[in-house]
Amino acid sequence: MPAEHVVLVAPVADAGRLAGALALARVVADVAPLDGRACLVAAPAGGDPEAVVRGTSRALGAAPVLVLRSDVGAGGGSVRVEQWRRGRRDEGADAVRSPGLVLAGLPDDAERVVHGAVAVAGLPGATTSAGLGRVAAARAATGGAGVAGAGLGAPRPPSPVLPAVLAVAGLLVLLLEVAQLLSGRGSALVAAVALLGVVLGTAAAVRRRAAARPAGPPPAADDR
């Protein structure tokens, strides 16, 4: 008896965001972009297709998810189309979709996936929700970063503005205290603290400015 092959068409254009949302919903699935209009979703090898169907449709709420079921190994076999929302299969005339019309609207690669000739994970741009931690999944779901093979980006260097402002404020206090000391009314302790603030603030501003400066080209090799 031929095995049933289950593929979902989800109305989300960004595969990375969808993978992040599925990871947050604890759905383990492979996701691939579909012509910039939607995504193909399927259970990975050894996964549970029905859990992916229920979990994906639940994660996308009221958005309709098309579930395409085909009989792999039946010479191309028949394709059945279901529409799901909120973890349940839609019923009624509005939920009826013609398999022929659905397949006609899909790219060739997608039709090969539906018939089991290629896996979703093998398509260009494919990613997976498996192994994503909650922080990485949240970033991916909100578009903060890619998922498969993409770095999270280098942290932004701290701004030197705040230390510079503190150094200037410390310098003003120091000058006022020195003037007070010269008139016999100032505090040596306050002046010392202000001087320390100037030194520390200036040093911090210089370090942060150096960290924010883009690195120059490497020095040329000495041919001598």
Q: Are residues 166 and 85 in the same domain?
A: no
> Dihedral of CA 48/50/56/58: which sign?
negative
Q: What are phi and psi of 207, to 5 degrees?
A: -65, -45
* Max CA pair span of the chain: 102
Q: Are residues 13 and 116 in the same domain?
A: yes
Q: Are residues 98 and 175 in the same domain?
A: no
30 occurs within a structural domain: yes
149 occurs within a structural domain: no
Which segment of 1-10, 141-150, 160-169, 202-211 scores lowest on mean pLDDT?
141-150
Q: Are residues 187 and 115 in the same domain?
A: no
For strand 65-72 and strand 127-128, is the pairing parallel, antiparallel, or unpaired?
Answer: unpaired
Query: Rounded distance, CA 207 to CA 177, Å?
Result: 28
Q: What is the pLDDT at residue 54?
A: 96
- Summarize the confidence of residues 132-140 as an average pLDDT: 84
179 occurs within a structural domain: yes
100 occurs within a structural domain: yes
What's the domain count of the chain? 2
Query: Rounded distance, CA 179 to CA 61, Å?
Result: 70
Q: What is the pLDDT at residue 49?
A: 94
Q: Are residues 40 and 116 in the same domain?
A: yes
For strand 88-89 and strand 127-128, is the pairing parallel, antiparallel, or unpaired?
Answer: unpaired
pLDDT in tens, 45-88: 889 999 999 999 999 999 999 999 988 654 556 888 999 999 99
Q: Are residues 93 and 166 in the same domain?
A: no
How big is the chain by its Cα radius of gyration, in Å? Answer: 30
- Summarize the confidence of residues 119-142 as an average pLDDT: 88
Q: What is the pLDDT at residue 217?
A: 46
Q: Are residues 86 and 52 in the same domain?
A: yes
Query: Which residues span the domain enclosing 165?
Result: 161-212
69 occurs within a structural domain: yes
